[in-house]
Amino acid sequence: MSLSLDIANLANAYAAGRLTPSSVLDEVYRRIALDGERPIWISLVPKEEALAKAASAPRGPLYGIPFAVKDNIDVLGMPTTCACPDFAYAADASAHVVTLLEAAGAVLIGKTNLDQFATGLNGTRSPYGVPASTFDPDYVSGGSSSGSAVAVAKGLVSFALGTDTAGSGRVPAAFNNIVGMKPTKGIVSTEGVVPACRTQDVVSIFALTVADAACVMDIVARFHDGDPFARRAPMPFAPGALPSRLRVGVPGGPLEFFGNTSYRSLYRSAVERIESLGAEIVPIDFAPFAEAARLLYAGPWVAERLAAIRYYALHHAKTMHATVRDIILGARSLTAVEAFDGIYELMRLCRVAEAEWTKMDVLLLPTAPTTYKIADMLDHPLELNSNLGLYTNFVNLMDLSALAVPAGIGADGLPFGVTLVSRAFADGLLATLGDRLHRTLPETKLGATETSLAATPPVAPRPRATVEIAVVGAHLTGQPLNSQLTERGARLLRACRTAPGYRLYALANTTPPKPGLVFDGSGAGCIEVEVWEMAESELGSFVALIPPPLGIGTLRLDDGSCVKGFICESYAVADAADITAHGGWRAWLGTRV
């Protein structure tokens, strides 16, 4: 079955009735059985359990889309191992990002292999086996998010979550001909993720296309008040229009490729292709970025790796991978003075780099300068791994956004990738540019599959002038007035609930039947709502359709955030039935059948 798992293909097939989530999961588990569980997977969701979840999945924007998560990300009821069996524990809750994806209808398939404790860029540091490049089994897959990248590249899932501290969401993408989106720190919550360096970690997204990665990013880029490292983005994530004058920085001096002439040639080609899109190529001084990259495995950030798992590392060191153990325990000799010295040096380099950012909008770099055979990596684990991070290590330290995209196949048959880097919160700009750059390649396949990039839809820039609207009754998905949203191009963002203090009533004599949501401060609240995003230009015509006693006001949600949404004037509920105890309009409708 030559089924492409790209999100657009599955969504279209579901809408047309050509496929069902159960038929897609049958194919996913067939492929996994043929490929074998190890070394890509650490644990799989049993097929019957996945099918049951698919059958009850919300019909959100990721309805029926199979995905995987790196095994340092918690999933309720599944072990989290960080590729260290003795460390494993059963998660009592799913990570915030997993909860958001499942609420959007995505179906989890399993948890993937990684460099132990997310320490490495090569993928060889795991007792569960060594995932290899999908293009040559002798070569590394890249790490630390090795299994996630390989699962996507092989067409076993539509997308996968990784984590990225030093390039773990980008290097494996490059080595497997897929897309790796590394968001701005804090805009995707890391709550429920075992940290490597908590101040630098992000959850990353692997996908076959930039459009797919952007679709997932739409769902997960949500501020989480319970995460102390979460940040509010100035605007919601959306692929944005490119500036009329796009300045792309490239290092002015010679770049290091460690003798890989194929990668050198493919990078030059990428510069030429982005210039063909109308970009102005600007030479910049790469020195402050390179110096910042060298800081990652010095001072504060090695100590932070030890802080993340200090009790385990100090008391169970013999159970750890030898290379990982030596790196993490090496921090024991660091002093607080050295840690502060490292922070001060990073701040100095960030200030120096500001002069370079005045010259450019985006920095274009090789994702990795070369690749290595697994045998060579095992013989020289520190030196060769360090080489792989030459163009990635600085990005999180300097609070930058990044997107890795495929950039061709070398004469040796191995993929090459480039990374677009920009300032914090430029994720939407990078999505638009990255997709266009990817599509300048000659006929190209997605990952190691047979699906052509040309057969998939491109990223569509969206206007940022939008408003979020919470709906509670007849405008919910599947209800009679939902078309008033979809006809205006509104997009379902998430399903959630109101804060306490609200009551829900079944209004009398309304066509179609509608509920009324009232805040009186004493109601149980926790009423089901859907939050939709609508262009501000469409809001007026939508509000004009709302009859009294309903209107648009401000609702407080159970996560503490506030959005515009449907409210009801209190006079209208005097004789109405209080249906708050049912938890939502759809639940109450179900009792009337």
* Together in a domain, 303 and 353: yes
Is residue 16 domain-shared with residue 68, that is, in the same domain?
A: yes
pLDDT score for 119: 97
Angle at 255 between CA 253 and CA 261, to 5 degrees: 135
CA distance 543 to 539: 6
593: pLDDT confidence band, cut at 50, 70 and 90?
Answer: low
Whether residue 428 is found in the same domain as residue 283: yes
Rounded distance, CA 506 to CA 221, Å? 34
The verdict on 437 and 487 lying in the same domain is: no
Q: How many domains does one find in the chain?
A: 2
Q: Is residue 460 part of a domain?
A: no
432-471 pLDDT tens trace: 999 999 999 998 999 999 999 999 999 988 766 778 999 9
In angstroms, the CA 97 to CA 545 distance is: 35
Q: Which of 430, 455, 480 is the last residue of a domain?
A: 455
Q: What is the pLDDT of residue 436?
A: 98
Q: Residue 1: inside a domain, yes or no?
A: no
Residues facing 535 on adjacent strands? 466
* pTM of this structure: 0.81
Question: What pLDDT was estimated at residue 391?
Answer: 98
Instruction: Indicate which residue of 4, 133, 144, 189 is catalytic.
Output: 144
Confidence band (pLDDT; 50, 70, 90) for 243? Answer: confident
Within a domain: residue 24? yes
Gyration radius of the chain over CA positions: 24
- 72 in any annotated domain: yes
In a 3-state reduction of DSSP, which class is residue 12? helix
pLDDT at 64: 98
pLDDT at 492: 81
pLDDT of residue 463: 61
In which band, very low, low, confident or very high, does the pLDDT at 487 lie, cut at 50, 70 and 90?
Answer: confident
- List, for residues 553-579, the tens digit of each pLDDT value: 999 999 888 999 999 999 999 989 999
Q: What value does the mean pLDDT of the chain take?
A: 95
> Does residue 182 share a domain with residue 304?
yes
Same structural domain, 497 and 430: no
What is the DSSP code string of 367-411?
S-S---BHHHHHHSHHHHHHHHTTTTTHHHHTTEEEEEEEEEE-T
| Residue 70 annotated to the active site | yes
**Domain termination site, one of 455, 476, 491:** 455
Domain final residue, candidates 396, 422, 455: 455
Write down the pLDDT at residue 464: 60
Single out the catalytic residue among 70, 111, 185, 514. 70
pLDDT at 303 exceeding the cut of 60: yes
Band of the pLDDT at 483, cuts 50, 70, 90? Answer: confident
SS3 assignment, position 415: strand
HSE on the CB side for 402, CA within 13 Å? 37
pLDDT level of residue 261 (50, 70, 90 thresholds): very high
In a domain, 137, yes or no: yes
Give the phi and the psi of residue 183 in degrees, each rounded to 5.
Answer: -70, 165
pLDDT value for 198: 96
Whether 523 and 381 map to the same domain: the answer is no
Mapped onto helix, strand or coil, the DSSP state of residue 313 is helix
**CATH, residue 258:** 3.90.1300.10
77-125 tens-digit pLDDT: 999 999 999 999 999 999 999 999 999 999 999 999 999 999 999 999 9
Question: Is residue 497 exposed (0-12), middle (13-18) or buried (19+ Cβ within 10 Å)?
Answer: middle
* pLDDT value of residue 310: 95
Residues 214 and 302 in one domain: yes
281: enclosing H helix or E strand: strand 280-284
Residue 4 reports pLDDT greater than 80: yes
Q: Is residue 2 part of a domain?
A: no
Cα–Cα distance, 450 to 442 (Å, whole number) = 15
Decide if 461 is inside a domain: no
CATH of the domain at 559: 3.10.490.10
Query: 386-418: per-residue pLDDT in tens?
Result: 999 999 999 999 999 999 999 999 999 999 999
Q: 481 and 451 in one domain? A: no
Dist. CA 525–CA 505, nearest whole Å: 12
Amino acid at residue number 394: F
Please tell me the predicted confidence (pLDDT) of residue 1.
54
Task: Give yes or no: residues 477 and 498 share one domain.
Answer: yes
**214 vs 489: CA distance, rounded Å:** 17
Are 401 and 273 found together in one domain?
Answer: yes
Gap between the Cα atoms of 232 and 261, Å rounded: 42
Question: What pLDDT score was predicted for residue 486?
Answer: 78
417/474 same-domain check:
no
Q: In terms of residue numbers, what domain contains 562? A: 466-591
Please say if the pLDDT value at position 241 is more than 90.
no
Which one of the listed residues 168, 189, 401, 422 is annotated catalytic? 168
> For the residues 204-210, what does the mean pLDDT come to?
98
Give yes or no for a contact between 440 and 165, defined as CB atoms under 8 angstroms apart.
Answer: no
Is 543 part of a structural domain of the chain?
Answer: yes
The residues pairing with 406 across neighbouring beta strands, listed in sequence order, are 417
pLDDT tens digit sequence for 26-64: 999 999 999 999 999 999 999 999 999 999 999 999 999
